[in-house]
Amino acid sequence: MSLYEKILEKALSRGRGRRIVDIRIGLGYTAVCLDNGNIGLAYTYLEEKAGCNILPPEVRFHDRPADVVAKYFLSPNLIEAGVGLATINAILNCPKDDYTLGDPLQLLELNSKDRVAMVGYFEPLAKRIKDKVQDLWIFEKSESRLAEALAEVEMTGLLPEATVAIITSVTLINKTLEEILLLLKGVRASILLGPSTPLLAEPFEGQKITYLSGMVVKDKEILKIVSEAKGTKAFGPFVQKVNLALKKA
């Protein structure tokens, strides 16, 4: 069973009986609200538009069972996969006692000998890291970022040399996370980071991830924020950033 299937399986067992009461597929993020008030977020992976019908007319999410919509996580259509992951996060990302709050970088305890691989360009983190470590390699899919980052094809040669990895949870949507983790040969610490992160330890057992860093939504106003094409810079008052420590693989 793949990592993605394990995540889905855990969500299905917890989400039965819940329904989707609101969904917003914004230009930046997708938000799904369940009938118990829980809200989950995921990145909206919008590739080049071929027309106005981004999804076919027969695809519906509103008022459908959460365990049905969550299965879209495995869809090859990246918009559908994002909706599925947002639904999974609405099911799983609830307030819990085992979260730790605060800066995820502090958990990594970076030092001057570290060689850090950042998959996905977290610009504020990159600025804080670059002068503290031996190397910072940023890998980015978007061609518009290649002046500041390395192309994805360069991961094969550099990821095995990394001592620390910071990985965007968008890799769950495009299903590249597993192959990235296989390239991490000598990491002492790694973190899966971003609003798309599902906060449940069990699916990640045996994987080379030491921390999950995501968000628990605490205010329904986030639905309006997502609808207005805003992203993480506007999420602050409506979410709580949390970290979940995992057992080392």
The bridge status of strand 100-101 relative to strand 39-43 is unpaired
Distance from CA of residue 228 to its chain's centroid? 20
Print burial letters for 90-123: b (CB count within 10 Å at least 16), e (below 16): bbbbeeeeebeeeebbebbebeeebbbbbbbbbe
Q: What is the pLDDT along the chain (249 residues), one digit of tens a residue?
A: 999 999 999 999 999 999 999 999 999 999 999 999 999 999 999 876 667 777 888 889 999 999 999 999 999 999 999 999 999 999 999 988 889 998 888 899 999 999 999 999 898 899 999 899 999 999 987 655 555 678 778 899 999 999 999 999 999 999 999 999 999 999 999 999 999 999 999 999 999 999 999 999 999 999 999 999 999 999 999 999 999 999 765
Q: State the Cα–Cα distance between residues 210 and 165, nearest whole angstrom.
A: 10
Residue 37, phi-psi category: left (phi > 0), alpha (psi -120 to 50), beta (remainder)? left
Distances (CA, A) of 234 to 17, 99, 245: 32, 22, 26
State both tokens at 125.
Answer: 């983190």
Q: What is the pLDDT of residue 143?
A: 57
Strand order across the 29-34 sheet: 20-25, 29-34, 39-43
Total-model pTM: 0.94
Contacts of 42 (CB under 8 A, 6+ apart): 29, 30, 82, 83, 85, 86, 89, 173, 195, 196
Task: Give 110-118's long-range contacts (Cβ < 8 A, gap of 24+).
Answer: 110/164, 113/163, 114/163, 114/164, 115/161, 115/162, 115/163, 115/164, 116/162, 116/163, 116/164, 116/165, 116/166, 117/155, 117/158, 117/159, 117/162, 117/164, 117/165, 117/166, 117/184, 118/165, 118/166, 118/167
What Rg value do the Cα atoms of the chain yield, rounded? 17
State both tokens at 76.
Answer: 């090859």
Q: What is the pLDDT of residue 43?
A: 97
Q: What is the pLDDT of residue 248?
A: 65
Query: Domains in the chain, ordered, with CATH?
Result: 3-92 (3.30.390.100), 100-220+240-245 (3.40.50.11590)
Q: What is the pLDDT of residue 56?
A: 81
Q: What is the pLDDT of residues 3-53, one digit of tens each?
A: 999 999 999 999 999 999 999 999 999 999 999 999 999 999 987 666 777
